[in-house]
Amino acid sequence: MRKCINPMKLNLSDEPVTAELLAEALARSGSAVIAVNGTSMHPTLQMGWRVYLRPARGADLKVGEIAVFRGDRHLTIHRLVWKERGDGPARLVFRGDYNRLRERVAPEAVLARVVAVEVPGPRKGMERVVTLERDLLSFFYLASFALYSLLRPILPASRPVERPPGFLGRAARRTFAALERLASLGLSERR
C-alpha cells in the first residue's frame, strides 16, 4: 500500500464527473478524502464526516467492508453485505447501515474501500482520524456469508428472482432481517 502525505480532497456530488475525478485521484495519489453526504450509513459514518479511501477492486473486497462505488446517478458509500455468485456474472450486494435497501452492483463499479474516518472534535481543530475497524455488523455479515458458503452444497437451489420465495424462504429472510437489526443496535453512535 502506497503512503500518501497529501491525499486529494473531493466533495461528493450528483455529477457523473465526480466518479471520474475520484478514480483519477485514487490512481494518481493512491488515496483520497471525501465528505459523507447523507445518512444511509448512520451511525457508522455521519453526515459531514470525512472518509479516507484507498483504491480497491470489487473482487478483492471482503463482506462487511465499506466501499465507494458508482451508483445509478452518483457515488455511494455503503457496506458490502453479500457476494452473489450464480450462473451469470458475479454481483456485489451493498446496503447502508441505516436503510434496508440493498443495491446489486457489478464488481467493476467499485472505486475504493474506506480505511479511516475523520471524526469531529468538541471544537474546531480538534478532529481526529480513526482507522475503520470491523464492528459488530461487519462480523454479522461476514459470519452469515461464511455459514452460507459452508451450507451452500446442501441447500436447495435458489429460485429465480421473478418467483417469490416459499414459506421457508420467507421465514429465513425474516429471521435474517431481525438478526441484522439486532446486530445494528451494537453500532456505536460516536467513534
Q: Which amino acid is at 97?
A: D
**Quick check: is 174 in a domain?**
no
Q: Quote the pLDDT of residue 160.
A: 65
Cα torsion 141, 146, 148, 149 to 10°: value is: 140
> What is the tally of structural domains in the chain?
1
For residue 154, is pLDDT > 90? no
The confidence score (pLDDT) of residue 190 equals: 56
Amino acid code (one letter) for 120: P
| Domain annotation covers residue 84 | yes
| Predicted local distance difference test score (pLDDT) of residue 125 | 81
CATH number of the domain encompassing residue 69: 2.10.109.10
The confidence score (pLDDT) of residue 189 equals 63
Cβ pair 134, 183 in contact under 8 A = no
Please compute the mean of the pLDDT values over residues 42-50 and round it to a whole number.
Answer: 90
Query: Can you tell me which residue has the cell 467492508?
Result: 65
Mean pLDDT (the chain) is 84
This prediction's pTM: 0.82
Q: Which residues of 122-149 are buried (b: 16+ CB within 10 A; e: fewer)?
A: eeeeeeeeeebeebebbebbbebbeeee
**Does residue 118 form part of some domain?**
yes
pLDDT at residue 19, as a whole number? 76
Q: How far apart are CA 14 and CA 116, in angstroms?
A: 23
Cα(156)–Cα(167) distance, integer angstroms: 14
- Indicate whether 161 pLDDT > 70: no
Which residue(s) pair with 131 in the sheet?
A: 116
On the question of pLDDT at 11 being above 60, the answer is no
Q: How far apart are CA 42 and CA 59, in angstroms?
A: 25
Range(s) of the domain holding residue 44: 8-134
Signed CA dihedral, 119, 50, 81, 73: sign only: positive
**20 within some domain:** yes
Residue 111 inside a domain? The answer is yes
